[in-house]
Homo-oligomer: A and B are copies of this chain.
């Protein structure tokens, strides 16, 4: 299973440094979400073929991909196999892989999850509702592997305010409280690109964190609104688009269309990051 920690953690290059190198190499801060919905995949294209095709189309244009576990799990055991396959294939193609699993569980279970997912990917997403002892096992394993942990802080969906925007007695909101915890844990954060004001606030609350910013494109987020996220350095934010890239065309040109849309976004984000 797991070979144990290396003799010195200082020998392990940590996620933020690996990301910075990859950004410099690819001149890209774009992350592409891989959310394979059977109804949206071009006719006659299999799940695995689609996922590999998207990886091929965006390699060298995106710096990272974010396969979303739920869509694969919904397709049963074969789907799960393809999830693992896609993670491996993307890493071979030189992309960083953020496994979007959104797990969160109590201590011993969190350790089991960390053991399951961290060797597969460069980073994973976790849900912080259960508190620090649910995130700690992920952080410990992550340091050993040089992996990144992205905690959900302010999510991109319309209903995210139900819990996250509730106002606290001491001032601020639930998500701002979570942002402070994430900063104290030295973790990274997910903040919806659909909430630009919160993205700017998140940057201030978590000055050291890489911000993963999903919701570009189909969900309505605009790269041009995200400049403040890059204030901590050019490799400090990863805007992420899913449907607008991977389903850019449902015709036989789906690979080329995905490549073209990814390149369009890459250039737009790159230009903004130099200013930010």
Residues in chain B near residue A70, CB distance under 8 A: 103, 105, 109-110, 112-113, 116
Stretch in contact with the other chain, from A88-96, A152-160, A263-271: A152-160
CB within 8 Å of B: which of A138-195?
A: 152, 155-164, 166-170, 174, 177-178, 181
Tell me which of A4-12, A19-27, A122-130, A224-232 binds B. A122-130
Once the chains are docked, how many angstroms separate the CA of A35 from the CA of B80? Answer: 21
Q: Does A131 contact B (CB under 8 A)?
A: yes
Per assembly, the copies of the chain total 2
Contacts of A127 in B (CB 8 A): 102, 104, 127, 129
A220 at the interface (CB under 8 A from B): no
Would you give 20 A-B contacts (Cβ < 8 Å), ordered by A?
Answer: A35-B108, A37-B108, A68-B105, A70-B109, A70-B112, A70-B116, A71-B109, A71-B112, A73-B112, A74-B112, A102-B127, A128-B162, A128-B163, A129-B129, A129-B155, A130-B160, A131-B163, A131-B164, A133-B159, A167-B168
Q: Which residues of chain B are near A107, meaning CB under 8 Å?
A: 157
* CB closest residue in chain B, given A101: B73
Q: How far is the CA of A163 from the CA of B35 in the complex (A)?
A: 29
Residues on A lying within 8 angstroms of B by beta carbon are 35, 37, 68, 70-71, 73-77, 80-81, 84, 102-110, 112-113, 115-116, 127-134, 136, 152, 155-164, 166-170, 174, 177-178, 181
